Structure formats: C-alpha cells, structure tokens
Amino acid sequence: MAATATAAAPSGATTRQFGIELQLGRIAPPVDGETIARLREAVLTHGFVVLRDQRFTDAELRALGRQFGTIDDRVIKYSSVGPVEIKDATLWHHHSNCDGALDDLIVYYTPAVPGPSEGTIEFFDSTAWLAALTPADREWASQRKARHDYRSVAHAGIPPIANPEWQPMITRRDVDGLVQQAFYLGDHAVEIEGVDDVRNPSPATPFGRIRKLAEDPKLHYVHEARPHDLILWDLRMLAHRSRPWASRTLRVIHEVIIRRVS
C-alpha cells in the first residue's frame, strides 16, 4: 500500500526532522516486514511516529511490540486527567515503567481522549538539546551522572524502584551502526554530580546553561491526540509530558514497553 508522510514539527538544533506522521491505513499484527522496517527506521530517525485511526486489542499490542524487539510482556493500562498547569522547561520524563532501566521504545495507544486539544502530549528532543551544547559544556556533561527518583512520574500501580542507580547524564545507543546520543534528564533527575541545586542552578554554571537551552521552542512538539492514535516513540532519545486540559474527562492509555530494539 502506498503511504505518505507528514512532517510533525520543524527541525531542532540538529538537521533531523523531529517527529513524523505516516499514513499507512489500519495495521494489525503480524505486520509485514517491510512496514515494520519502515516504522523502525522512522522512529530511530525522527524520534516518534504517529499512526491515526488504529484499532488494537491487548494481544495485538503485545504482538506488535515483539516485532520491534524484546518487550516488557504486559500491556500497561491507565486513565488520567490532565495536569492543571505546564511545569518549567526541563520537567519532562523518560520512563513509563519507572523501574530505572534504560528502555528503548514504547508502543502507545489512546483508545479515548477527552476532545480536541485535550489529553495532548508534549515531546521534547533530547538529542537536539545535547547537540546544541558548546564543546566545553558537552565535555562537562559527558563526565557527569545523575540519580533518578521516579515517584513524581510513576503511574498508578507501577511503583518505582528504591535507591535507583546513578546513570550517565548522556545516554548512548548503537543500533546497526546508527550511533545516537541524548541527555537522560527530566523531572525524575533529583541529583547530579557537581550540581548544588538541580532545580535552580546558577546561569553561570554549565548546568545552568544547559537548562536555559531547553527553553528553545524548536526542541518541543505538541502532539494533538485523537481517539485511536498509535504512537511509537523513542524512550531514550526524547522525553515527554502531558499537557493541561480543562475537561475532567479521562484520557485512556494502553502501552507496551520495548526493552531492546532489534
């Protein structure tokens, strides 16, 4: 089937197009190998891929996830009401399962959303954020680790681990020779080596300059969620957060975590 692609957002600090929407019609596992290869390449290249008007059972979501790699073999289901306000410019988060593991991708399905412009998701390009640094600040960041506490972003019924390990501030992935690097930071980063105040660093320090760079609007993209959207996104190379909405209607989410992309 012929397919078209629609740009989701302008480029950030790098030359890659951040996000892409593909028009493939409805898909259902087992998806043919050519389509899986195209989706895999698209998410690794652009950070996230949107497919509209899909229909998936839990078993089909797990089966689709397995076509991309090793999965956390469960469908995580939850409903949420939007936050009351947008937090500051670096309070996104990375890991939906909140167990401290550096997972690769997520298959995210929204059977129901409150309405237009409600229940939307903001994606943040952590790869372009890193690429925007000066050589000196990049070298500083490459020498640092952060400790992450996931209680602020844990979903109901999915408790974070106690005493998570320190993780490098910059995460690196090599898939078939495609080497990618990004900041691994967010609302869950509570301690950083060499930083006295993670929330309010001095603007004259390396981390203060890094935080300031995150305010660049080219690094953000707000996805206008619709019922039955299927989104495949990169848990390592970008971060995300919910956007506020006025309605008390719930957004319903079903998701599968891909531990390692193959």
More confident residue, 88 or 33: 33
How many Cβ atoms sit within 10 Å of the Cβ of residue 127? 24
pLDDT tops 60 at residue 9: no
Query: Can you list the domains of the chain with their CATH numbers?
Result: 4-261 (3.60.130.10)
Among candidate residues 7, 167, 183, 20, the one with its CA nearest the CA of residue 92: 183
pTM equals 0.88
pLDDT at 156: 62
Instruction: Calculate what percentage of the chain has a pLDDT beyond 70.
Output: 88
More confident residue, 244 or 207: 207
Question: CA 214 to CA 199: how far, in whole Å?
Answer: 13
Among candidate residues 204, 199, 239, 203, the one with its CA nearest the CA of residue 219: 239
> What's the burial of 78, exposed, middle or buried (CB within 10 Å: 0-12/13-18/19+)?
middle
Position 78 confidence tier, pLDDT thresholds 50, 70, 90: confident
